[in-house]
Amino acid sequence: MLKRLSLGTAVALLVASSNFAFAGEEEEFRETFEAWAVAMGVTNPPIIPPGTNMTIQINITRWTTEEEREALFAQLVENGQEGLVRALRDQEETGWTRPRGRGAASRSTFPREVLRYSRQIDLGEGKRRIILALDRPISFQEAVHRPRWNDYDLTLFVMDLDENGEGEGQLYVGVRLALNNETKQLVIENFGSEPVRLNRIRMR
């Protein structure tokens, strides 16, 4: 089922500027979070089956700069999703995510992934929103058979945190971005029936 994300999330992803200083320019910067991920609906591609729950560790090692953000947005405007994904793959790593816990099930369901985009937005009163993005790996089988979600090759993390680094968020496994030429607004389409919920986010 194709769904559109809220405009607030869309604007925050590539359009909005951050009011925070870029601590990522300092040596050995790192912010680490853990979140309890729960898949209530269907994700397309079907990477995380409904009913799956696991702990995901999220590590941010630098923030995407204003120049990088503007370059990515320019690629989206000029060359669409394809140009954006190509440019994103060339970005310097901004961190990584990985499952935590016992057993191999969580690792095979959601393996370690490299982040290519990390931004934070000041929400006031010590609160902030963190948006993370990576190009979704395309399997050989998906490349050959090209299912309907093949072009939804971005993955997004959205985390809303309080002054203590605690909060909730969503994981959108497969999304596609587009610019509405009439309204000049960014549109984000999510192919899944419901994003994966990120509950009990805590800073480590």
User: Is pLDDT larger for residue 68 or for residue 149?
Assistant: 68
- d(Cα 120, Cα 143) in Å, to the nearest integer? 33
**Burial of 63: CB neighbours in 10 Å, binned 0-12, 13-18, 19+:** buried
- Mean pLDDT (whole number) for 98-114: 63
Q: What is the pLDDT of residue 2?
A: 42
Local structure of 70: helix, strand or coil: helix
Instruction: Please count the other Cβ atoms lying within 10 Å of the Cβ belonging to residue 32.
Output: 14
Q: What is the pLDDT of residue 24?
A: 43
pLDDT-derived band at 15 (thresholds 50, 70, 90) equals very low
Domain borders along the chain are 31-179
- Mean pLDDT (whole number) for 128-144: 67
Q: Using one digit for the tens of pLDDT, what is the confidence trace for 143-187?
A: 434 445 456 778 889 999 999 999 999 988 888 877 777 766 777
Query: Phi then psi for 11, rounded to 5 degrees?
Result: -65, -40
**Burial of 190: CB neighbours in 10 Å, binned 0-12, 13-18, 19+:** buried
Cis peptide before 45 (omega within 30 of 0): yes
